[in-house]
């Protein structure tokens, strides 16, 4: 069960901010690793732009990105690509 009550505006906003913080850093690292080379539809998969738009509509601040992962993006691309093909 989620700690967020998504029917509550404040919780939904907090949920979006948490998602944005996580996705922004991961997506930036994948962009840097040329994710589009392995996932041709990468730009359609990205969530940062939609999250930024939703937060803006709610009048909420866009969070700082979560700390970068310790593994270089190139190290995770093969497993991400394998999952994307499923």
pLDDT for the residue numbered 31: 86
Which residues have a Cβ under 8 Å from the Cβ of 38 and sit 6 or more positions away? 77, 80, 81, 84
Q: Which helix (H) or strand (E) holds 20?
A: helix 9-32
**Domain map (residue ranges) of the chain:** 9-84
DSSP 60: -
- 16-63: pLDDT as tens digits: 999 998 888 888 888 888 888 888 999 899 999 999 999 999 999 999
Instruction: State yes or no: pLDDT of 10 exceeds 90.
Output: yes
pLDDT for the residue numbered 77: 58
């Amino acid at each position: 069960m989620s700690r967020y009550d998504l029917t509550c505006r404040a919780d939904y906003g907090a949920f979006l901010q948490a998602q944005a913080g996580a996705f922004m850093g991961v997506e930036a690292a994948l962009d840097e690793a040329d994710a589009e080379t392995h996932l041709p539809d990468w730009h359609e998969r990205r969530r940062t732009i939609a999250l930024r738009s939703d937060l803006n509509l709610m009048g909420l601040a866009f969070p700082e990105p979560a700390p970068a992962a310790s593994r270089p993006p190139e190290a995770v691309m093969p497993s991400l690509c394998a999952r994307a093909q499923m």
